Structures are given as structure tokens and as C-alpha cells.
A and B are shown apart, each in its own frame.
Chain A
Amino acid sequence: MMIARGIALMLALILYPLQCAPVARAAPPAAVPVPVEPKSQLSASAQRAYETARDKLLQVRTLLRDQDSQASVGSGFIVSSEGHVITNYHVVSQVALQPQRYRLTYTRADGATGVLQLLAIDALHDLALVRMVSAPDTAARALAVLAFRPQARALDTGERIYSLGNPLDIGFAVLEGNYNGLVSRSYYPQIFFAGALNPGMSGGPVLDGEGRVVGINVATRLDGQQVSFLVPSQFAEELLARGRNAPPVAGDWYPELTRQLLAHQALLVQRFISQPWRSAGQARYRIPVPQEEFMRCWGSSSRAETKGLEYQRSDCRMDSAVFVSGRLQTGRLTARHEVYDGTKLGSLRFARVYSASFRNEFFGGGASTTAPHCKESLVDREGLPLRAVVCLSAYRKLKGLYNLSVLVATVDADIQGVQGRLDAHGIDFDNALRLTDHYLQGYAWNGSH
């Protein structure tokens, strides 16, 4: 063990100055001296990427309507000579949802500024198309644009790519990283970018070695290091094609957002329901566990030495949700269950903890939705009695969308049981009923119980 670690450390020390960060991850961080970065060809590429993109980059600023204070900042890049700019939807969401309070402006690397107009959004992929208006330099000369990398030419894993933007409003910057294919189990395709993204870079382009756009900065994992996400450029191309001649929208974008979210949930629920439930591997009960196609499940269990309740827990959720506003993300499904064994407790004590667990549930009545309304019943599933509670709340501004929670507890045995919960955020009413039915149908006794 010690020897292996020693070798890893040595390798790291040798390789680090030559090949940079990723290899160094094998070594304990404290043991690695901070290397002096030699001026290599790779940095020259970064320099080239920055030089290519410099005059096509924008900082996208959301300002208060009546004063010049900035409410948020992001990045963007010019994709047409008429001044079309791609950025993230979440960079412009305040303007989209509250146009009476916010406005959009840009600042370029040379310090030129101007006004931006929102033309189209793709909330599902977190993209927005805006256009530079009333800028003197726009009229004077044709704008240089960034080109998209052709879809036919796929990137190779490990290929070096360059992320650009204006991190933390400090100044335009280029950051190197690696392409690592698509994020597994993501509902919408996202590129796994091994590099650092910082707030303010959202909406900035990510270029290949030839200076063509391969993706758009969108998110980073705060619990990881250098784990960041890009929107593949094809969705930006589609948005540009769809929205470049779109007339400006009067008022807020809630109707368009609602339309996109309704389409999203229709496909999502269809896909979800068409998947068969997985088995939970439980002897007595059949429990609905979702497939891990676009969800990720984590398990946990009681301590081995417990004198009380024994349980096993499974928690499945979609990692991504659709960003609507700083306070609201939706369009997401989660499903979890707990298998309880109260053999060590006896029936009365088990009834107490089983009830307490069933009670200990939260049904959010956030600012975006109405208070929840619930219906409950004893439900029979092929002889297995369940206590089922279904709670629904409606979105105030996203008309026709609801949050659904289905809470289920088996009530067939003295000292064992299963409690499960399905949550669907941002679905229409018919799909709420379909999902409820689908989830309840997932429960039954398992063969000979």
C-alpha cells in the first residue's frame, strides 16, 4: 500500500510539469509542489483561441430597468453579422420573466457597450438568442462571428477545448479543459467538460483547437473539482435558425416558457411510463424503482449494529432540471422508497416509527405554486393494502403545470413495510393522474409473500 502510494507520488511529480493537471489527481494534493508552468504549445493554442474569439465575445449584463446597477452578469458570443448573440437562458431569465424591472446590455472586450434584445429562448437546453441593437459600431461595420464546428466532426475524448467568458465580472478570460464526451444519464445531452467554470462565464463559447464553437458554458458541480457542463453547440445552431427573424416579444416570456415546459413534460412522462419498473430485490414486496436511463439512484441503510429499526433506502432522481428562475427549477422526477424491518422492535414500537416516518414528509408550497391539496385513501394492489396520499399544487404563472407527490405506505404487516414517494415537478394534470396510477401499479406482493 505504502509502496504503491510512493510510486504514484513519484509518477505524479515527474509527469506533472510536463502534462499538467489531470495526471496529478492520483497524488495527495498536499504532497505536490505547485509547479512552474512551462510555456508550452498548448498555452499557445489557448492564446490563439482567445485571439480568435476576443472581438466576438460579449459580457451580457442584466441591469435594473431604471438605474445602471447590474443584477447579474453572464457571457455570450456573436453568431451572425446582423448581431445575433447566443447566451444561456439563465443569464437572461430576469429580463425574460420581469421585463418591466430589468433590461439587457452588453460590454465587449474593447469596452464597447450597447443594448440587447431577447429574441428566442430554449429553456430546456438553457439557451437564449439575443440581438445587439442600437450600437453605433453594429451599423458601421459588419460583425465578425464565431462559427460552429460541423456536427459531423465529433470531438475525441480528451481533446483539448477552450472555454471563454467573463468570470466573476473580473475580465474576459480563456480557460483550458478537456472534452470528456456526454454526461451519462443526462436527460438532455450535455458535454462533460473537465475544466473550471466560474459564475459569469455562463453563456460563453467553448472552442476547439481551430476556434470553432463546440459548446456553451452552462454549469459546474460545486461538490466536485473541474467537473463542468456545456450545452452542445447543435442546440444553439437550431435556436439561431429558429429565432433569428423572430419578432420581439411584448411582455414576459411565461407563455413561451409554459409551452416549452408542457412539451418537455409530455415527452418526459411518456418516456418514464414506457420504461418498466426495476425490481428492488425485495422478497415480500414488489416496489417501483425507476430505470437509471436518465435518473441516478443512491442507496443507504441503517447501521449494522442498530438495536431498533432496520431499513434500506433508495433515492432516485434526475440530476438536471429545467431552470426557470433563480428561485425555480422544474421538469424533474424523483422516486424513493424505504424498506423497513421492525423485527427487533415488535409491532407496537414499529407502528410508532412507521407512522412517524410517514408523517415526516414535506410538501412544498413555495412562492411559485399554490398550497398543496391532497387526497388519501386505502388502496388495494392485487391484495396488498396501501395507504396512499396524493398531493397536487398548481404553478401560478406556468398555467397548466402542477407539482405531484404520491406517498405510499404498505399496511399489510405488523413489523415490516415499505414507504415510497414519487415526485414530479412541472407536469400537466392528465400526466399527474397517469403517473399516480403508474406508480401505484408498481406496488404489489412479490409472488409468495
Chain B
Amino acid sequence: MERLALIEVLDHDGRVQHSVPVVRWPVTVGRALDCDVVLHDPHVAAHHATLDLVAEGVPALWLTVGASVNGVRWPERQLAAGASAPLPPGTIWQAGSSALRVRLAGEALAAETPLAHPARHHHTLLTAAAGCALLAWIAAQQWLENEPGSTWDKYLPVLIGTAAGLAAWSVLWGLGSKLFQRRFRLIPHLRAVLGFVLAGLLLDALLALGSFALSWPWLSHIRGWVEVALLAALLATHVVLLAPGRARAIAMIFGALCALSIGINAALTWHSSERVFGELYAATLPPPNLRLVDARPPAALLEDLRPLREVLDRRAKEDEDREAVDGF
């Protein structure tokens, strides 16, 4: 017999749980065994709804609600018992707590969606390259810290620790993917964390060197903020991988969280010391040939100091007044 339609019963994630082919109209939906589509849902009536194709004029699918307490609804529509309405094509409608969808024969099909993240070869290679770059960076840092003549075993703990830490982090997020997307996806999460950690290390080094080269201490001071921003971006990337449809909202939430944490940190530092940055001074002293600006005479530094007198005196007075209020 010709298949006229397919009635799909969906699960909570919107995936098809099972489907019932339609070979004649009308079709009955309910908990009773004589229904065409039998639902195992306590919120569904014995004969919950009837679907019929009305062929007059433009053919349309009509839904009529049977003797049901909960009725039927779909976006912007609520039908009580006995009500009847045309069901727009492709609509997901709710009978009790069950979600259903009707696909009619001859309905235009959407084009095939390519796999969201095909495990393309060059992506895996890129991830591996980023991993190697990060380990190389960590090894170089360890080399700087080691005394000359140190043997390879000094590098092992930090390299293994870093690799294990990154793997554990990625696996946890991969399990998150499994939970939300029903697919364990390790590589995209690993790629995200590698990318952001590498970017963080690189930016940190560049800011510290730039601060010395240009004698701009603020470049060094903002490193803490840059770290917070990168951490927020990394977390947002992970979460977007779990819920790709909500990228915009997630970006806004993490952007706000990042701004909030930087703001609170700056406010606390200001409250305790009337400074915006926690770092008192830029301490990186790289090889001197990186210096791009001229040194100034001592008198210039003394001139910079003079305005501090007013700031400190005001602060001392405020502190003392506060103490007096606290009942020292």
C-alpha cells in the first residue's frame, strides 16, 4: 500500500524515537490499543487526537482533539478537547508530554546536511602540531629554569603533567559532549584548549617583553586581565561545542562574566590601594638589546614622583578617618 505519511514520535532532544507509517486517513492517536499511533504516556487520553487530510481546495491536515484533559498544543496554539485546527506542515506538536511530527508524502525535503565536524585529516594534524608546539614551549620554559647541564629527566614531570592535564581537561569536556550531543568529541575540545593556552603563553611573553622594550609598564600590568579574558573565551568555546545552536548567547554570557570578574578585581584593588592593577611594577628584564626607547635622566623620575604626595596624604587621611569610624 502506498505510504501517505509518516508520524514521528520524538524524544526530549528532538530526535525521532519511533515512527508510524500512515496508509489511510484519518489516523487516531492515543493510549488505547485501537489507535493507529499508540503512545505510552500517562498524560495522553485513550483517544487523544484524530488527524485527517482534507482534500478540498488546498489540501491541509486537520487535527481534532478527542476527550482529553491536556489537549494538544504547538507553538502559539492551544487546542482543548473537541477543538479542531489545521496543522501547519512540519510542526512539532505536543500531546500530553509527547512530541510528535507529521511528514506528508510529497513534502519537499531539506538538503542533506554535511556532518558538523568531519574528522578531517588536516584538522587532526593541526591539533597534533599545536600539542607539539605547547609541549615544546613548556620544555623551553623548563630549560630556562634548569641549571646548565641538567639531564632529560628534569623535563619529564612537567611535560607529562602538562600532557595529562590537557588530556584530562579535554576528556571531561568530551564527556560533556556525550551528555549533551550524544557524541563523544575529544579533538575539538583538545584543539580549543591547546589554541587558547598557546595564545595565552604567547601573549603573556609578548606583553612582558613589550613592556620592557617600550618602557610601558601597563603592558605588563594588563597581563592578568588578558589571562582572564582568554580563560573566559576558552570556556565559552567549550560550551559552544556542547550547544552549537546557542553560540551568541554563550558568547554574551561569558563576555559579561569576564568583564564582571575583571571589574570586581580592579574595584577590590582600588579599594585597598587606590591602584587599578594588582602588579606594583613591571619586573621582566629581558636581554638589554630588546630595549627600544631611551633611558631618562633621574630628574624625570623624581618629577613623576611628586604628584604621589597628594595621593598618599589623601589616602592616609581617609584610612585614618575610616579607622576612627570603626572605633580603633
Interface residues of A (CB under 8 A from B): 306-308, 344-349, 351-352, 354-355, 358-359, 363, 365, 369-381, 385-397, 399, 402, 407, 409, 411-414, 417, 429, 432-433, 436-437, 440-441
> Closest approach, in angstroms, between the C-beta of A429 and any C-beta of chain B?
5
A371-B315, A377-B295 given. 14 additional CB < 8 A pairs?
Answer: A345-B147, A355-B283, A373-B275, A373-B308, A374-B280, A378-B293, A379-B295, A380-B294, A388-B301, A394-B316, A396-B316, A399-B313, A399-B316, A411-B285
Contact pick for B302, options A347, A351, A378, A433, CB 8 Å: A433
Is the pair B298, A348 in contact by a Cβ cutoff of 8 Å?
Answer: no
Complex alpha-carbon distance, A390 and B300, angstroms = 12
Complex alpha-carbon distance, A75 and B274, angstroms = 44
24 A-B residue pairings within 8 Å (CB atoms): A308-B147, A344-B148, A345-B147, A351-B286, A351-B287, A352-B144, A355-B284, A358-B283, A371-B274, A371-B275, A372-B273, A373-B311, A374-B280, A377-B300, A378-B291, A378-B294, A379-B298, A379-B301, A380-B295, A390-B305, A391-B281, A432-B305, A436-B301, A440-B298
Taking CB atoms, residues of chain A closer than 8 Å to B113 are none
Complex alpha-carbon distance, A417 and B285, angstroms = 11
> Closest approach, in angstroms, between the C-beta of A436 and any C-beta of chain B?
6
Complex alpha-carbon distance, A348 and B146, angstroms = 12
Contact pick for A377, options B280, B304, B313, CB 8 Å: B304
Taking CB atoms, residues of chain A closer than 8 Å to B309 are 429
Interface residues of B (CB under 8 A from A): 143-145, 147-149, 212, 215, 217, 272-275, 280-289, 291, 293-302, 304-306, 308-309, 311-313, 315-316, 319-320, 323
Contact pick for A409, options B147, B285, B297, CB 8 Å: B285
Secondary structure dominating the interface of A: mixed
Complex alpha-carbon distance, A376 and B221, angstroms = 13
Taking CB atoms, residues of chain A closer than 8 Å to B299 are 437
A355-B285, A411-B291 known; A307 and B316 CB under 8 Å?
no
Taking CB atoms, residues of chain B closer than 8 Å to A346 are 148
Contact pick for B308, options A307, A375, A397, CB 8 Å: A375
Contact pick for A365, options B273, B286, B296, B320, CB 8 Å: B273
List the B residue with the shortest CB-CB distance to A434.
B302
List the A residue with the shortest CB-CB distance to B141.
A352
Contact pick for A307, options B148, B215, B295, CB 8 Å: B148
> Closest approach, in angstroms, between the C-beta of A355 and any C-beta of chain B?
5
A-B contact number at CB 8 A:
139
Is the pair B301, A377 in contact by a Cβ cutoff of 8 Å?
Answer: yes
Complex alpha-carbon distance, A371 and B249, angstroms = 40
List the B residue with the shortest CB-CB distance to A400.
B313
Taking CB atoms, residues of chain B closer than 8 Å to A376 are 217, 281-282
Taking CB atoms, residues of chain A closer than 8 Å to B147 are 306-308, 345
> Closest approach, in angstroms, between the C-beta of B297 and any C-beta of chain A?
6
Taking CB atoms, residues of chain B closer than 8 Å to A389 are 280-281
List the A residue with the shortest CB-CB distance to B209.
A351
Contact pick for A352, options B145, B300, B313, CB 8 Å: B145
Is the pair A378, B296 in contact by a Cβ cutoff of 8 Å?
Answer: yes
> Closest approach, in angstroms, between the C-beta of B67 and any C-beta of chain A?
76
Is the pair A433, B283 in contact by a Cβ cutoff of 8 Å?
Answer: no
> Closest approach, in angstroms, between the C-beta of A169 and any C-beta of chain B?
28
List the B residue with the shortest CB-CB distance to A406.
B301
> Closest approach, in angstroms, between the C-beta of B269 and any C-beta of chain A?
9
Complex alpha-carbon distance, A228 and B273, angstroms = 40
Q: Nearest 8 A-B pairs (CB), nearest first?
A: A371-B273, A359-B283, A380-B295, A394-B312, A378-B295, A394-B316, A308-B147, A440-B298
Complex alpha-carbon distance, A433 and B298, angstroms = 10
Is the pair B316, A395 in contact by a Cβ cutoff of 8 Å?
Answer: yes
Complex alpha-carbon distance, A407 and B275, angstroms = 19
Is the pair B144, A349 in contact by a Cβ cutoff of 8 Å?
Answer: yes
Complex alpha-carbon distance, A346 and B312, angstroms = 42
> Closest approach, in angstroms, between the C-beta of B148 and any C-beta of chain A?
6
| Among A370, A388, A411, A437: residue with most chain B CB under 10 A | A370
Complex alpha-carbon distance, A394 and B147, angstroms = 42
| Among B289, B296, B301: residue with most chain A CB under 10 A | B301
List the A residue with the shortest CB-CB distance to B283.
A359
> Closest approach, in angstroms, between the C-beta of B163 and any C-beta of chain A?
23
Is the pair B285, A387 in contact by a Cβ cutoff of 8 Å?
Answer: yes
